[in-house]
């Protein structure tokens, strides 16, 4: 009988009971779609879309840019940035809300393609909050010693579940993937997570029908945007402030604010509520990438680092929120 390891793993890289992000990678689909291209199908205008959401353009995946290929590309970049060989990954956690194949878990196929042959792999369903939930699980696994290095991936092809003619969501959602590698550290690099779900809002973002029901009608995602907007301000913004306190830092000491890229108005209002000063870089990737659900936070982090708005060693407040409704927030140190 094969043994199952439950004790802390001896190879923690010599680090002392903490976790941190070691590397970040993203994949942005090739096709850029501007507001003008969507207006006719939803009876809208470029100005309305930009004023209400901040979005100017987004990326739509082509047929060859599958969830699998985008997740692999983002993860390979994160592994290269971290300088970690895939064989040294113990666990892959993949968050997605647009994975249409019920089984096998996409994470298992992604791990296999990457050559992470020693890893366990699980999928996580927490919609747009998925990345921050997955990051919290990865951090806990590393700190408890049940894994040494964890690959966390957020990957979405929202164009597979959003109806092109749906006025309430077609201009908002988009495709892409982002990933980080989490490993052991001598000092705290991923702060305590503040997280909660509220099923009273389960109708606010949902699919219109189950897949494969007897009517044969294809299900699509539907969203009560106004209701989620209010909830984000009333519930998520105070939770984000709590994550800052739990990490033992102050809002004006944050190097970056990287909330889920749902809507520029939500991002800017949340920054205001948190009392962030001019020293904190605010991620506004939504303007060029739209809302990529579980991929939006690692993609936005990658942009901040690539553009030099944030640097390794800075602290960043991450806040994921979405369907459920569900949120998770934590402060991290950037790699």
Calculated CA dihedral for residues 20, 23, 24, 30, nearest 10 degrees = -160
Distance CA 216, CA 237 (A): 40
The interface mask with ligand UT7, positions 100-129, x = CB under 6 A, is: ----------------------------x-
Q: Please provide the DSSP assignment of 53-83 as one string.
A: H--SEEEE--TT--HHHHHHHHHHHHHHHHT
Distance CA 14, CA 16 (A): 7
Helix (H) or strand (E) holding 156: strand 149-157
Candidate ranges 107-115, 149-157, 167-175, 277-285; the one touching ligand UT7 (CB under 6 A): 167-175
Which of 30, 34, 218, 226 lies at the binding interface for ligand UT7 (CB under 6 A)?
226
- The residues pairing with 32 across neighbouring beta strands, listed in sequence order, are 59
Q: Based on C-alpha coordinates, what's the Rg of the chain?
A: 19
Angle between helices 264-274 and 46-53 (to 10 degrees): 20
Distance CA 30, CA 114 (A): 22
Give yes or no for residue 232 binding ligand UT7 (CB under 6 A): yes
Which residue, 172 or 240, is less far from ligand UT7 as judged by CB?
172
Which of 135, 147, 228, 237 lies at the binding interface for ligand UT7 (CB under 6 A)?
228
Which of 9, 52, 196, 206 lies at the binding interface for ligand UT7 (CB under 6 A)?
52
Give yes or no for residue 262 binding ligand UT7 (CB under 6 A): yes
**Shortest approach of ligand UT7 to residue 281 CB, angstroms?**
21
Within 272-291, which residues bind ligand UT7 (CB under 6 A)?
A: 291
Contact 190, 135 (CB under 8 A): yes
Candidate ranges 40-48, 57-65, 110-118, 242-250; the one touching ligand UT7 (CB under 6 A): 40-48
Give yes or no for residue 164 binding ligand UT7 (CB under 6 A): no
Active site residues: 128, 260, 291
Which residues contact ligand UT7 (rule: CB under 6 A)? 42, 44, 48, 52-53, 128, 167-168, 171-172, 225-226, 228-229, 232, 262-263, 266, 291, 293, 322
């Amino acid at each position: 009988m094969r043994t199952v390891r439950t004790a802390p793993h001896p190879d923690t890289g010599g680090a002392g009971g903490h976790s941190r992000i070691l590397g970040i990678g993203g994949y942005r689909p090739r096709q850029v779609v501007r507001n003008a291209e969507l207006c006719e199908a939803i009876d809208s205008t470029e100005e309305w879309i930009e004023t209400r959401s901040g979005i100017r353009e987004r990326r739509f995946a082509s047929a060859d840019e599958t969830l699998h290929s985008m997740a692999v590309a983002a993860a390979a970049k994160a592994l290269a940035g971290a300088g970690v060989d895939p064989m040294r990954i113990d666990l892959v956690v993949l968050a997605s809300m647009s994975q249409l194949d019920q089984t096998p878990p996409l994470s298992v196929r992604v791990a296999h393609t990457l050559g992470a042959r020693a890893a366990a792999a699980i999928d996580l369903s927490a919609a747009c909050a998925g990345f921050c939930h997955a990051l919290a699980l990865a951090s806990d696994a590393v700190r408890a010693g049940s894994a040494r290095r964890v690959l966390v991936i957020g990957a979405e092809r929202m164009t597979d579940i959003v109806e092109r003619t749906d006025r309430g969501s077609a201009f908002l959602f988009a495709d892409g993937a982002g990933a980080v590698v989490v490993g052991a550290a001598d000092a705290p690099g991923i702060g305590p997570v503040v997280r909660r779900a509220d099923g009273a809002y389960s109708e606010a973002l949902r699919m219109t029908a189950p897949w494969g029901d007897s009517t044969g009608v294809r299900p699509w995602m539907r969203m009560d945007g106004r209701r989620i907007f209010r909830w984000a301000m009333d519930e998520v913004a105070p939770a984000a402030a709590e994550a800052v306190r739990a990490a033992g830092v102050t809002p004006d000491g944050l190097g970056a604010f990287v909330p889920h890229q749902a809507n520029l108005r939500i991002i800017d209002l949340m920054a205001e509520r948190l009392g962030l000063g001019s020293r904190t870089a605010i991620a506004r990737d939504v303007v060029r990438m739209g809302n990529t659900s579980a991929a939006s936070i690692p993609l936005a982090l990658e942009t901040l680092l690539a553009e030099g708005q944030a640097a390794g060693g800075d602290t960043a407040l991450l806040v994921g929120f979405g369907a459920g409704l569900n949120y998770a927030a934590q402060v991290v140190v950037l790699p």
